[in-house]
Amino acid sequence: MTKRGRLILMIAVSIAILLSAFGLPVTANGPQNSGQSNPGYVKYTLILVNNTLVNGSFVNTSSALGPAGIAYDPSNGYIYVADYGSDTVSVINGATNTVIANIPVGPEPVINGVTYSGIENIFALSKPYGVAYDPSNGYIYVTDDGSDTVSVINGTTVIANIPVGIEPEGIAYDSSNGYIYVADYGSDTVSVINGKTNTVIANISVGIEPTGVAYDPSNGYIYVTDAFSGTVSVIDGANNTVIATIPVGFLPAGVAYDPSNGYIYVTDDGWGSVLVINGTTVIANITVGSGPAGVAYDPSNGYIYVTNLYSDNVSVINGKTNTVIANISVGIEPSGIAYDPSNGYIYVTNFFSDTVSVINGTTVIANISVGSWPWGVAYDPSNGYIYVTNYASGTVSVINGKTNTVIANISVGIEPSGIAYDPSNGYIYVADYGWGTVSVINGTTVIANITVGIEPMGVAYDPSNGYIYVADYGSGTVSIISAPAQATETYTVTFTESGLPAGTQWSVTFNGSTKSSTASSITFTGVPAGNYTWNASSIIAVGNDTRYVAQISSGTISVPNASSVSLHYVKQYRVTIQPTAGGSTSPSGTFWYNAGSTVSITAVPAPGYEFVGWETNSSITFTNSSSATTNMTVNSPGTVVALFKAVPTTTTTSTVTSSSTTTSTVTSSSTTVTSTTSTAQPSHTTEYVAATAVVVIVVLAAVLLIIRRK
């Protein structure tokens, strides 16, 4: 392939990658205007060479600007167009659709020691090639293939022209360190630019003719495909050194990162294989067919499908084991490949057999005849159709994914190739390269063939104004298409509650809007199809001690698959459980319990106390209020109290008297016992009593004798 041919291919791929990176719809370009309905039209043609905005479509055949790459910068709303033929970047203000700057890129030419300004288009031959956006500083970086520089654009001003290696082409941004990595095709190096200073901080020698650059966020490595040395150079972004040079075969072409397993996959066009790299090690060399071209991933089974252009088959790789589990024979020179998520099938265009093979897992379940030389393939999620561009027959075949039959062959312009779906209006845009038009398809009908410039290449959608910008490579213009959005079908979503008392206010937040109501339902209208999150009132208080709690208060809903959500609220009472002095309870404190629920409670007396019973100031009932462990039924809010009392104190005393006495006292927390213990002695009590009686008798007798004598 010639240098110019490789350039055009690289630009086309770069446009798609850049637009995808910015989250913008990617479309392609093509034939004439016949419009039915209102699919869009060329509202203006901006002639880059003299910054003239012309109403309608205008073809300029005299300009040699050669606009190719085009990208939208969301930080300022500008559209940047790489003018390959004039060595400039045109900056378009989307608000006014005027060229606000034509930025010469590459260094100013020096002739006989004199620097000449403003004549870069004649002498410098910078040939702007790759474009990358650095979100850390908002700058645009453009590789100048002809002048061996990288131009740094801030808004509409070139703030730096950074000399790099020979013929810089691929360019990538490393988010882990903020560096820009540039593959220098002619000098076999990778230039590393520090985005903060816009200076080259390293020139890393790699293999021969480096082209592709990819960043692996899982390990911080940069992978560079060295086309003619058959290697992949692995650069560690932490120290900007080549930590490995991995032999991958002859003419490594594509390089991609698989986030599901963290592996790098490299297609080897020369050897007919796919190499799997983990870090710096080739963990698998998967032999596929000859000339591996297209690749698609099927998330439903984890398989990778590779179309082999020259062996007429599709290799199926199991991503878990990195082995080819099947080589599926299809038509002649399979190229395009796409996955249909609605049925899980893989669709493969067979260029020279004029068919599309439908693969389910590892089996071809259908071969569908289409037009001549089928190439591009795209899936339309709005109707489940697969659209196939037939390059030689000038048609687009429409396949119904449910039946795998061609339901229409739509005539478009000459040499349709690129194809894409525009989600803003549901239309399919087909690039008719030979006619210089864009065919617009709605369902199975061409509703317009919009004439644009000569050899339209890139297409970008500007969400700030709703215009579609088409870079017309051959005529040096940018066609600006006003494409009103198609009316979108909308739906009604209803939220219904149960459990709340009549007249209680509740609310729901859905699709950015919050609504409140005292009725039992809340309705949202005008809802487009899509997935939405919602949040409802989770707790609704009705007094200090009563509330209602939603069993589920948030979730997601897919519209129109579902159109209603039911919510149920449960009544709860606040209950305080506490003990009196002399014990504790379990649980203890203030709690919210569902109305009518049964709760187990336990009272635990402290030493010296005993449990008396349970009491409450409310309608709460007990299974057994005299039992320390029982159940209470929560019929209302209130307070539950466990009653305790102290155990009474008792005292016992016994005394024995003797001539030798010892007294001891033992005291416990509840009873005091005093005892007096004596040592036993011989007793004389009886003798004392007898003697006393004798004395008394003698005294009495004496008294009587005295009385008689007198």
Q: Are residues 616 and 595 in the same domain?
A: yes
| Count of Cβ atoms closer than 10 Å to residue 616 Cβ | 19
- CA 220/CA 237 separation, integer angstroms: 6
Please check whether residue 608 lies inside any domain of the structure. Answer: yes
Q: Among residues 631, 646, 661, which one ends one of the domains? A: 646
Please check whether residue 342 lies inside any domain of the structure. Answer: no
- CB contact at 8 A, 82 and 476: no
Q: Please give the C-alpha separations between residue 109 and each of 61, 117, 162, in angstroms, as whole numbers.
A: 28, 8, 14
For the stretch 600-655, pLDDT in tens is 999 999 999 999 999 999 999 999 999 999 999 999 999 999 999 999 876 555 55
- CB contact at 8 A, 417 and 386: no
Please check whether residue 204 lies inside any domain of the structure. Answer: no
Residue 15 DSSP SS3: helix
pLDDT score recorded for residue 641: 97
Please check whether residue 549 lies inside any domain of the structure. Answer: yes
- CA 684/CA 305 separation, integer angstroms: 127
pLDDT score recorded for residue 469: 64
- CA 611/CA 642 separation, integer angstroms: 8
Strands 564-579 and 638-646: parallel
Residues of the chain under the 50 pLDDT cut:
1-37, 60-64, 68, 108-124, 656-681
Looking at the chain, the number of H-run helices and the number of E-run strands are 3, 63
Q: Are residues 582 and 625 in the same domain?
A: yes
What's the CA angle centered on 245, arms 243 and 247, to 5 degrees? Answer: 155
Please check whether residue 14 lies inside any domain of the structure. Answer: no
**DSSP states of 579-605:** E-TTEEEES-EEEEEETT-EEEEEEEE
Q: Are residues 586 and 544 in the same domain?
A: no
Please name the residue that has the structure tokens 């699919």.
39
pTM comes to 0.38
CB contact set of 650 (below 8 Å; sequence gap of 6+): 670, 671
Tokens standing for 643?
A: 């009653």
Q: Which domain holds residue 598?
A: 574-646
Q: Are residues 500 and 554 in the same domain?
A: yes
CB contact set of 485 (below 8 Å; sequence gap of 6+): 424, 425, 466
- CA 490/CA 468 separation, integer angstroms: 25
Please name the residue that has the structure tokens 């087909």.
430
Strands 88-93 and 98-104: antiparallel
For residue 221, the Cα-to-chain-centroid distance in whole angstroms is 22
- CB contact at 8 A, 358 and 367: yes
For the stretch 174-186, pLDDT in tens is 878 888 888 888 8
Q: Are residues 498 and 557 in the same domain?
A: yes
Please check whether residue 383 lies inside any domain of the structure. Answer: no
- CA 450/CA 272 separation, integer angstroms: 41
Please name the residue that has the structure tokens 């011989």.
682
Side-chain-side CA neighbours of 525 within 13 Å: the count stands at: 0
Please name the residue that has the structure tokens 């005892």.
675
Length of the chain measured in residues: 710
Please name the residue that has the structure tokens 């008689």.
708
Side-chain-side CA neighbours of 608 within 13 Å: the count stands at: 7
Q: Are residues 527 and 510 in the same domain?
A: yes
Q: Are residues 521 and 540 in the same domain?
A: yes
Please check whether residue 498 lies inside any domain of the structure. Answer: yes
Q: Are residues 559 and 627 in the same domain?
A: no
- CA 207/CA 359 separation, integer angstroms: 38
Tokens standing for 442?
A: 């709605």
Please check whether residue 334 lies inside any domain of the structure. Answer: no
Q: What is the CATH number of the domain that holds 506?
A: 2.60.40
Q: Among residues 535, 570, 605, which one ends one of the domains? A: 570
**DSSP states of 29-95:** --------S---EEEEEEETTTTEEEES-----S----EEEEEEETTTTEEEEEETTTTEEEEEETT
- CA 8/CA 312 separation, integer angstroms: 26
- As for how many domains the chain has, the answer is 2
pLDDT score recorded for residue 16: 40
Tokens standing for 589?
A: 């404190």
pLDDT score recorded for residue 518: 94
- 39: exposed, middle or buried (Cβ count in 10 Å: 0-12, 13-18, 19+): buried
**DSSP states of 279-334:** TTEEEEEEE--SSEEEEEEETTTTEEEEEETTTTEEEEEETTTTEEEEEEE-SSSE
Q: Among residues 595, 613, 646, which one ends one of the domains? A: 646
Please name the residue that has the structure tokens 């002399």.
582
